[in-house]
Structure 1
Amino acid sequence: MKVLSISKKDIAAMTPTEVDKLAERLEQDNYSNAFEGLNDWHLLRAIAFQRPELVESYIHLLDLEAYDEA
């Protein structure tokens, strides 16, 4: 199994076009296996934490919600 490895440097170099293509793949959900989709999801999540401005339009794909643990 291939392991996803992406550095902060790789994410810093990503363009909005690359993020658009990534989000489009996730929205289409047409992967040959579940791990490919999971890798894309993890990549989008990493981008969201490091460059949130790139994923504002696609945050719904991450199912990130604020939780009140009080």
Structure 2
Amino acid sequence: MKTLTISKTNIATMTSQEVDKLAIRLEQDDYSNAFEGLEDWHLLRAIAFQRPELVESYIHLLDLEAYDEA
């Protein structure tokens, strides 16, 4: 399975369809090695920080939790 490699500038132009495909790959977890899945996970995480509206439906894939540092 081929993973996406995208620069920060390209994240600004990503479409919701591209994010959907990325999330589907992550949900299926059908990678030939762990590094491909990790690359997709890091890409989805970068999108979440730069364009959170695109990953609202897939935030569960990132395991992001609010931490109380108190």
What is the TM-score with the length of structure 2 in the denominator? 0.90
Provide the C-alpha distance between the structure 1 equivalents of 2:33 and 2:8, rounded to a whole number of angstroms: 26
Paired amino acid for 2:62: L
Q: Determine the structure 1 residue equivalent to 2:18.
A: 18
**What is the CA distance between 1:8 and its match in structure 2?**
2.2
Detail structure 1 runs of 4+ shifted over 2 Å in the superposition: 4-8
Q: How many residues align?
A: 67
Any idea what the Cα deviations from partners look like across 1:40-69, whole Å, max 9, x if unmatched? 000000000000000000000000000001
Provide the C-alpha distance between the structure 2 equivalents of 1:38 and 1:60, rounded to a whole number of angstroms: 15
What is the TM-score with the length of structure 1 in the denominator? 0.90
**What is the CA distance between 1:6 and its match in structure 2?**
3.4
Paired amino acid for 1:63: D
Once superposed, what is the RMSD of the aligned Cα atoms?
A: 1.3
Paired amino acid for 1:20: D
Q: Determine the structure 2 residue equivalent to 1:64.
A: 64
Q: Following superposition of structure 1 onto structure 2, how do residues 32-47 of structure 1 map, counting pairs within 5 Å?
A: 32-47=32-47
Moved more, 46-55 or 6-15: 6-15
Structure 1: runs of 5 or more not aligned: none
Structure 2: runs of 5 or more not aligned: none
